[in-house]
């Protein structure tokens, strides 16, 4: 697995695995980032790739001092399972 890249031109975090691109699409408004959609190719489904992407993206969100709106159901469920990331959610 490669590292998670913030592709600002395409408004998405990216993780390339075995020649497949996994993405987390976002919208940035000031210091608030909205995660809109997670896309994991079916070839990578069930291997934890989506979770690795979300965790890496959230680590970058934290490092940048941003707040998060988890519009994407996958991200919302992931955060509910990982309470140490709930402080990122905009209240």
Per-residue pLDDT in tens (0 to 9) along the chain, 91 residues: 569 999 999 999 999 999 999 999 999 999 999 999 999 999 999 999 999 999 999 999 999 999 999 999 999 999 999 999 999 999 8
Distance CA 77, CA 86 (A): 11
At residue 26, the pLDDT reads 98
**What 3-state DSSP class applies to 77?**
helix
pTM: 0.94
- b/e per residue 6-16 (b: at least 16 CB within 10 A): beeeeebbbbe
Q: How many Cα neighbours within 13 Å face the side chain of 78?
A: 23
**pLDDT given at position 2:** 63
Give the whole-angstrom CA distance, residue 9 versus residue 70. Answer: 21
Which CATH number applies to 5-88: 3.30.420.40, 3.40.50.10140, 3.40.630.30, 3.40.50.300? 3.40.630.30
Name the DSSP class of 33: E
């Amino acid at each position: 697995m490669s590292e998670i890249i913030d592709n600002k031109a395409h408004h998405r975090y990216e993780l390339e695995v075995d020649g497949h691109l996994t993405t987390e699409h976002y919208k940035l408004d000031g210091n608030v980032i909205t995660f809109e959609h997670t896309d994991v190719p079916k070839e990578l489904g069930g291997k934890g790739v989506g979770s690795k992407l979300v965790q890496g993206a959230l680590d970058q969100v934290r490092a940048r001092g941003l707040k998060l709106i988890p519009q994407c159901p996958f991200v919302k469920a992931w955060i509910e399972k990982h309470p140490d990331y709930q402080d990122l959610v905009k209240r």
